[in-house]
């Protein structure tokens, strides 16, 4: 390994990759903690998120299956989710706004994690409240969307636009995602309150446990929130755009 | 804290393994520059706008599907790597979390086959 080679790609040289792969083997070997850079709380949240990935994957795959197998034309989301703004019909605009809203909430969440670790608890709590606000706004827009579609006659068993499976897929997928966002908003409010009060400075127990809470809960909370955003990326691509 | 020393790796006598593994577990907080988050945020906005434009300009067929998938994967990658800090985690966690969901692709392939077959039967028998 020449010095020249090392300097060209410091981020992921062959040696670094080799050392990282050997690190995986070492971390998983035996009788030791496997996730050395992650606490139990973070590792458990990640494992929960993997299981949730499978849940949403099953929804999206069953949606794919019914859409592929039906002989009736699939309704056009572009037209169904269009809104009249200033006399003009803009396709899919509501969903675009919801997407930007959720991405914004992810941005504020990421910054909240940063401030929490910096022990700037007021800033962290305010950013979490902003995140919760955008989350609640998302759920509100979804409620508006559901109301609009139900008024137009979309039902889980049929709709006036095309294939009957559209309704069941729509209510199931967006409903489950909206439920995740709602739980996330509650979780955010609880943690924001604890951060604001300084619970993690004085070591007051967390809400699920009698152990001392730590500022890491903000990062763990953030993982859940970003995951909800991540799921929306896939729903947006496969359900609304495809 | 549960700072567990991994003397076991040293005991095996594999020098590279011992070198690659950190001497003790370190659960460290993830703190990164706000600037990076703002950059990712901007990129996510741009990518979302791009995927929205795919629909707005009504691209169809292979071009549409390719663009949707590309923008989707880029957005998902940014969220997982930066916002969820996967880029800074040890590879042991990364592979444990990111590899299992790939099994979903197998289910997807099987169900695509199944869906196509059901569609074929419906057309064949009901001539819809």
Which residues 10-29 on chain A approach chain B with CB closer than 8 angstroms? 18-29
Q: What is the pLDDT of residue A151?
A: 95
> Cβ separation of A22 and B16 shorter than 8 Å?
yes
Which residues 66-125 on chain A approach chain B with CB closer than 8 angstroms? 66-72, 78, 91-92, 96, 99-100, 103-104, 106-107, 109-111, 113-114, 117-118
| Domain positions in chain A | 1-34, 35-241
Over 50: is that where the pLDDT of A6 sits? Answer: no
Domain covering A35-241, topology: 1.20.120
Q: What is the pLDDT of residue B26?
A: 53
pLDDT digit string, tens, across residues A139-149:
999 999 999 99
Q: Which of A11-15, A116-120, B114-118 has the lowest mean pLDDT?
A: A11-15
Q: What is the pLDDT of residue A27?
A: 86
User: Taking Cα atoms as reference points, which of B110, B89, B52 lies closest to residue A27?
Assistant: B89
> Cβ separation of B76 and A230 shorter than 8 Å?
yes
Question: Concatenated DSSP letters for A205-225?
Answer: B-TT-SSBP-THHHHHHHHHH
Q: What is the pLDDT of residue A11?
A: 55
Over 90: is that where the pLDDT of A2 sits? Answer: no
Which run of H or E residues covers position A88? strand A88-90
- DSSP letter for A83, please: E
> Cβ separation of A46 and B128 shorter than 8 Å?
no
| Residues present in chain B in total | 128
Q: What is the pLDDT of residue B16?
A: 44
Q: What is the pLDDT of residue B28?
A: 59
Residues in chain B within 8 Å Cβ distance of A70: 119, 122
Those residues with Cβ within 8 angstroms of residue B81's Cβ, 6 or more apart along the chain or in another chain: B87
Over 90: is that where the pLDDT of A23 sits? Answer: no
- DSSP letter for A155, please: B
Q: Where residue A12 falls among pLDDT bands split at 50, 70, 90?
A: low
* Max avg pLDDT among A21-25, A127-131, A199-203: A127-131
The parts of chain B modelled with pLDDT lower than 70 are 1-29, 128
Tokens of A195: 């951060």
Bridge pairing between strands A83-85 and A88-90: antiparallel
Residues in chain A within 8 Å Cβ distance of B35: none
Q: How many CB atoms lie within 10 A of CB A181?
A: 21
pLDDT digit string, tens, across residues A168-196:
999 999 999 999 999 999 999 999 999 99
């Amino acid at each position: 390994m020449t010095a020249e080679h090392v300097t060209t790609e410091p981020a992921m040289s062959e040696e670094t990759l080799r050392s990282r792969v050997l690190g995986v083997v070492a971390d998983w070997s035996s009788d030791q903690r496997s996730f050395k850079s992650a606490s139990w709380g973070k590792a458990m949240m990640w494992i929960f998120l993997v299981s949730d990935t499978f849940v949403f994957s099953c929804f999206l795959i069953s949606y794919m299956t019914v859409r592929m197998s039906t002989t009736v034309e699939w309704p056009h989301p572009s037209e169904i989710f269009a809104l009249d703004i200033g006399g003009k019909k803009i396709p899919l605009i509501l969903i675009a706004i919801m997407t930007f809203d959720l991405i914004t909430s992810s941005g504020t969440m990421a910054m909240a994690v940063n401030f929490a670790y910096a022990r700037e608890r007021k800033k962290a709590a305010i950013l979490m409240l902003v995140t919760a606000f955008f989350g609640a706004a998302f759920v509100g827009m979804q409620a508006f969307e559901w109301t609009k579609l139900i008024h137009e006659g979309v039902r889980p068993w049929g709709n006036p636009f095309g294939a009957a499976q559209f309704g069941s897929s729509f209510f199931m997928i967006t409903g489950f995602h909206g439920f995740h966002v709602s739980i996330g908003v509650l979780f955010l409010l609880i943690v924001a309150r604890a951060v604001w009060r300084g619970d993690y400075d004085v070591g007051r127990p967390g809400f699920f446990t009698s152990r001392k809470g730590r500022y890491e809960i903000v990062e763990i909370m953030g993982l859940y929130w970003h995951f909800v955003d991540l799921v929306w990326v896939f729903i947006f691509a496969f359900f609304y755009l495809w | 804290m549960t700072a567990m020393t991994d003397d076991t790796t040293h005991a095996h006598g594999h020098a590279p393994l011992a070198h690659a593994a950190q001497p003790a577990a370190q659960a460290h907080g993830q703190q990164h520059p706000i600037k990076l988050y703002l950059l990712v945020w901007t990129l996510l906005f741009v990518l979302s706008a791009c995927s929205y434009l795919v629909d707005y300009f009504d691209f169809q067929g292979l071009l549409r599907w390719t663009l949707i998938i590309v923008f989707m994967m880029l957005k998902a990658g940014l969220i997982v790597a930066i916002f969820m800090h996967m880029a800074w985690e040890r590879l042991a966690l990364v592979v444990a979390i990111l590899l299992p969901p790939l099994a979903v692709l197998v289910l997807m392939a099987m169900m695509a086959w199944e869906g196509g077959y059901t569609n074929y039967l419906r057309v064949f028998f009901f001539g819809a």
